[in-house]
Amino acid sequence: MKDRLQELQSEALEKVKQSEDLKALQDVRVAYLGKKGPITEVLRGMGKLSKEERPVIGQLANDVRESIANAIQTKQDKLEEKAMEKQLEEESIDVTLPGRPVHVGGPHLLTSIIEEIEDLFIGMGFEIKEGPEVETDYYNFEALNLPKGHPARDMQDSFYITEELLLRTHTSPVQARTMKQKDGHEAVRMICPGKVYRRDTDDATHSHQFTQVEGLVVDENIKMSDLKGVLNAFAKQMFGSERDIRLRPSFFPFTEPSVEMDISCKMCGGEGCSVCKGTGWIEILGAGMVHPNVLEMAGYDPEIYSGFAFGMGPERIAMLKYGVDDIRHFYTNDIRFLKQYHKA
Ligand code: FA5
């Protein structure tokens, strides 16, 4: 029995020596020190021994167990240390490598231009209003002097949701909503930026979804010259003091008289070039004096109150100001395009 124990000891110690990883070491532990291992088996046979031999063999069995357990523990410590060293080596950081650049975002060009427009009008005492993008037929058309079946509705092909609900085709419904809120008595001086939708075919200057900024002033004694003064101040601040504006007669059912405002072409200084199609002028917005019917429908007495309104497309303004040649750039969001307009 003594020999058997010593044999098991040297066998186990050899296997510990040969173990190259923690898994192999664990196998040795289970094989020699486990409940079903050979040492336990030897101990089970101790009953057959004489009284004198029993404590000697018992002591030897314990010593053998302990020496195997110690050898396993020492080897385990070594293997763990080795594994840690390997991991540290693999994960070591080369502090001389250049750092990865952090990309800092910036506002979208369209957001910047709308904020610029807002700042200009806030500076002239206007407040900012908002209205719903899903609009009623009443506010989008009827309250703006465009009853059902009016031929001018064709000017704005619409996305209808139901007979009475549609995606607003312009920001002008916010005019009617704001005047209604003011109850026909208070003066109004507001602009309203927001998204609008039309069944237009997308091309370099048209999008089926785009933005507009509406403006409205209502008070006693508001005249066409006030409209011209405000638009002139806006155009010069937005595009530069050397630019001229001109108003051309136009038609909108909600304004009378109606105009379109052109700005002198930046490319040719008014001489005529391919950008302004040889005219020297580029159209930027529609405007006019609020139609008496619109004032009346909103509760204002047109004998006392008058007003002007305008509506512009910020994409077109940004295109002109920054020389963007295709409106689709605003919506395809190519980061190389957008990055050019991030302010440092
Ligand atoms: C209107 O939408 C009127 N509500 C503007 C207005 C307001 C007139 C108040 C009078 C008083 P118009 O359809 O012209 O008008 O559009 C105004 C501006 O929106 C245009 O000058 C243009 O800059 C822009 N716009 C129109 N259609 C598109 C489109 N499909 N894609 C991009 N911009 C467009």
Q: Flag the least confident range among 25-34, 75-84, 167-176, 265-274.
A: 265-274
Lowest mean pLDDT among 88-92, 331-335, 336-340: 88-92
Q: Is the pLDDT of residue 343 over 80?
A: no
Q: What is the pLDDT of residue 60?
A: 87
pLDDT attached to residue 275: 72
SS3 128: strand
Ligand 1 centroid distance, CA of 261 (Å): 11
What is the average per-residue pLDDT within 280-307? Answer: 95
Q: Is 140 in the pocket of ligand 1 (CB under 6 A)?
A: no
Average pLDDT over residues 10-18: 90
**Is the shortest distance between the CB of 219 and ligand 1 below 6 Å?**
no
Q: Measuring from atom 30 of ligand 1, which residue has the nearest CA?
A: 206
More confident residue, 289 or 58: 289
Number of H helices, E strands in the chain: 12, 9
Pocket of ligand 1 contains residue 29 by CB under 6 Å:
no
The whole-number pLDDT of residue 344 equals 61
Residues of the chain above pLDDT 70, percent: 100
Mean pLDDT of 62-73: 90
291 lines ligand 1 (CB under 6 A): no
Examine the pLDDT at 325 and tell me if it is beyond 80.
yes
Say what the pLDDT of residue 313 is.
Answer: 95
282 pLDDT tier (thresholds 50, 70, 90) = confident
Ligand 1 atom with minimal separation from the 170 CA: 2
Label residue 217 by pLDDT band (50, 70, 90): very high
Residue 258 confidence (pLDDT) above 70: yes
Confidence of residue 38 (pLDDT cuts 50, 70, 90): confident
What local confidence, expressed as pLDDT, does residue 149 receive?
Answer: 87
- For residue 257, cis peptide bond before it (omega within 30 degrees of 0): yes
Q: 102-117, pLDDT tens digit by residue?
A: 888 899 999 999 999 9
Ligand 1: atom nearest CA of 258 is: 10
3-class secondary structure, 216: strand
Distance from C-alpha of 247 to C-alpha of 316, rounded to nearest angstrom: 17
Mean pLDDT of the chain: 91
Mutation choice for ligand 1 from 141, 167, 202, 212, CB with most ligand atoms inside 8 A: 212
Taking the centre of ligand 1 as the mean of its atom positions, its distance from the CA of residue 236, in whole angstroms, is 20
Distance 105 CA to ligand 1 centre (A): 30
Tell me the pLDDT tens digit for each residue of 182-193. Answer: 988 899 999 999
pLDDT of 315 > 80? The answer is yes
Q: Is 231 in the pocket of ligand 1 (CB under 6 A)?
A: no
Q: How confident is the model at residue 3 (pLDDT cuts 50, 70, 90)?
A: confident
Nearest residue (by CA) to ligand 1, atom 12, is 286
Cβ atoms of 238 and 329 within 8 Å: the answer is: no
Spacing, Cα 212 to ligand 1 middle (Å): 7
Q: What's the pLDDT band for 256 if we cut at 50, 70, 90? A: very high
- Check residue 57 and give its pLDDT: 85
What's residue 147's pLDDT? 92
Region 164-169: mean pLDDT is: 96
Task: Please give the Cα distance from 41 to 27 (Å, whole number).
Answer: 18
pLDDT by residue (tens digit) across 76-101? 899 899 889 888 888 888 889 998 88
Of 316, 115, 109, nearest to 196 by C-alpha is 316
Residue 256 known to bind ligand: yes
Instruction: Please determine, for residue 129, whether its predicted confidence score (pLDDT) is greater than 80.
Output: yes
CA–CA distance from 14 to each of 25, 36, 242, 289 (Å)? Answer: 11, 20, 96, 103
Query: DSSP alpha helices (H): ranges in 124-182?
Result: 137-140, 173-181
* CA pair distance 59, 51, nearest whole angstrom: 13
Report the 10 Å Cβ neighbour count for 157.
13
Per-residue model confidence (pLDDT) at position 32: 87
